[in-house]
Structure 1
Amino acid sequence: MVPKPTAPTQETCMSDKIYDFIFRVAEVLELPVVILTLLALAVVLVEVGALITELIKRRSRTFSALARAGASARRAVDERRMDEASALLQTVAWSGPVGKAFKVLVGAVDKPGADTRIAKELADFDFGRQARLGRTRLLVRLGPALGLMGTLIPLAPALDGLARGDVDALTENLRLAFSITVLGILIGVIALALSLLRERLYGQDFSDLEYVAAILTDDGSAAASIAPTGTITPSVPPTPSRPVTSSETVSLPPLVPPAPPAAPAPSGTDVSS
């Protein structure tokens, strides 16, 4: 006698429903993962263009120009010409956030508690810098994660097509899986490069802000030591050499040493003989 098949238990039915739900969720996530990967690729390409623009703006960045603008702005602040001081600093603002920070520094330097206000503005600029870097830092992790999800999700239908002998379904799903993997890794690599470059650029901006803040709040010695042309005046001027007039003669050492004096003759000898 052929044994009758046992009826599926309640636990088996429950587990089958759970597995079927997981498979359906994975299938539903396939299209959103592909769309998010393409959006992440578009965002990282836009960030590349923005970085190129930032690098073009910073081509004329020099410390001498920053020193001239800072010293001129300090002189304008001392004479209560705040608008002129802000305009002078805008010439060395290599980005929009730096220009806004310069305006806040000029506006706070002549008010009570200037040091506290300036310290708060520097902290806010640093916070904004970290938030700006957070976008590309997110893509550094999001790109490979989307690539991994895009790799694993199509593998289930690919294996199902292999079991059914459907070579076309197997090929199509494997191509999708490998393509999403490549895109995810590419997004992560580009985002990492953008984060490193921008971290260096924003570090330079923060250093410029600290330098200008120090010039605006010191006793004026830093601005006084910087000439309007951008050259730093020496603390001790060199002693000028006195030119030689035509009436003066310059004594030169003899080229041939003088001959020694002749020895005196003995007293007892006859010179005439």
Structure 2
Amino acid sequence: MTNPIESAMYDASQLFLYPVLIAIAVLFVHAFYALGAFGWQAWQRHRGQAGGFELMAARAQRPGLTLTELEALAVKRMEFARIATRVAPMLGLVATMIPMGPALKALADGQFADVSRNLMVAFSAVILALLAAAISYTVVNVRRRWYAVDLAAIKNGASEPAHDPVAALAVEGAR
């Protein structure tokens, strides 16, 4: 690179590889943690246990909670996973593009082992990021429906959780 601006941009972009890879690893681990918590909540909902119906349990503990406060609680509960569904693919793309520069340079220099190593990092990172996003997306969307059903039941004055056929299917699918 002869242009100092190009060289500075290249050097700056290389600084982000490890932070991006760490962020992807955190999102990947969190996705499986969220999946486990989701499975546990599905099991509780299937069995009709109060822990599976967070909004109803919160309302029972603090009867003064308004529907708006319960909606805020639901949004807060889903917030990190919802953000992960959007951020993980972006980080995957960044983690794919950063090693491409060194891979192309190594290709031009005939260093095929370096090309291979950089491509392995690039594609492994994007795969983990997309898996994290897919898991988080599924958890968020099912929970969103659960919370909508629970809020509707609370709004209609229900004190007991309704039977959730989808939770039963989730539990059956896990067996």
What is the TM-score normalised by the length of structure 1? Answer: 0.54
Shift of the 152–57 alpha-carbon distance from structure 1 to 2, 3 Å rule, reads: same
Amino acid at match of 1:177: A
Residues 37 and 180 of structure 1 are in contact (CA less than 8 Å); yes or no, is this contact kept in structure 2? yes
Quote the offset at 1:40 in angstroms.
0.5
**Cα distance in 1 between the residues matched to 2:29 and 2:59:** 30
Rounded to whole Å, the distance in 2 between the matches of 1:190 and 1:93 is 22
CA distance in 1, matches of 2:107, 2:51: 61
Change (3 A) 1:93 1:167: closer
Structure whose alpha-carbon radius of gyration is higher: 1
Q: Identify if the C-alpha distance between structure 1 residues 96 and 198 changes in structure 2 by more than 3 Å, giving closer, same or farther.
A: closer
Deviations 1:30-50 (A, max 9, x none): 111111111100011100011
1:60 equivalent to 2:75? Answer no
**Aligned residue number for residue 188 of structure 1:** 133
2:24 match:
37
CA-to-aligned-CA distance 1:100-154 (integer Å, 9 cap, x gap): 312332xx5xxxxxxxxx6xx1110001111222222111111111110011000
CA deviation after TM superposition for structure 1 residue 98, in Å: 2.6
- Is 1:104 matched with 2:62? yes
How do 1:163-178 and structure 2 match up within 5 A? 163-178=108-123
Between Structure 1 and Structure 2, which shows a larger proportion of helix residues? 2
Q: In the superposition, relative to structure 1, how do residues 99 and 152 fare at CA in structure 2: closer, same or farther (>3 Å)? A: same
The answer to whether the aligner puts 1:136 opposite 2:94 as a matched pair is: no
Instruction: Tell me which residue corresponds to 1:48.
Output: 35
Query: Which stretches in structure 1 are left out of the alignment for 5+ residues?
Result: 1-12, 62-90, 109-117, 216-273
Task: Give identity over the alignment, percent.
Answer: 23
The alignment covers a number of residue pairs equal to 158
Q: Which amino acid aligns with 1:102?
A: A
Distance 1:168 1:92, change over 3 A: closer
Does the CA-based 8 Å contact 1:102-1:209 persist in structure 2? Answer: no
Give 1:206 deviation, angstroms.
1.1
Q: Distance in 2 between matches of 1:188 and 1:93?
A: 26
Aligned ranges 1:198-217 → 2 under 5 Å: 198-212=143-157
1:20 aligns with 2:7: yes
Aligned to 2:171: none
| Bigger relative CO (Cα 8 Å, ≥ 6 apart) | 2
The residue that corresponds to 1:145 in the other structure is 90
Specify every segment of 5 or more residues in structure 2 that has no aligned partner in the other structure, as ranges: 160-175
Task: Give the whole-Å Cα distance in 2 for the aligned partners of 1:97 and 1:56.
Answer: 16
Q: Tell me the residue number matched to 2:106.
A: 161
Residue type at the aligned position of 1:17: P
CA RMSD of aligned residues (A): 2.0
Runs of 4+ more than 6 Å apart: none
Contact 1:154 1:174 in 2 (8 A): yes
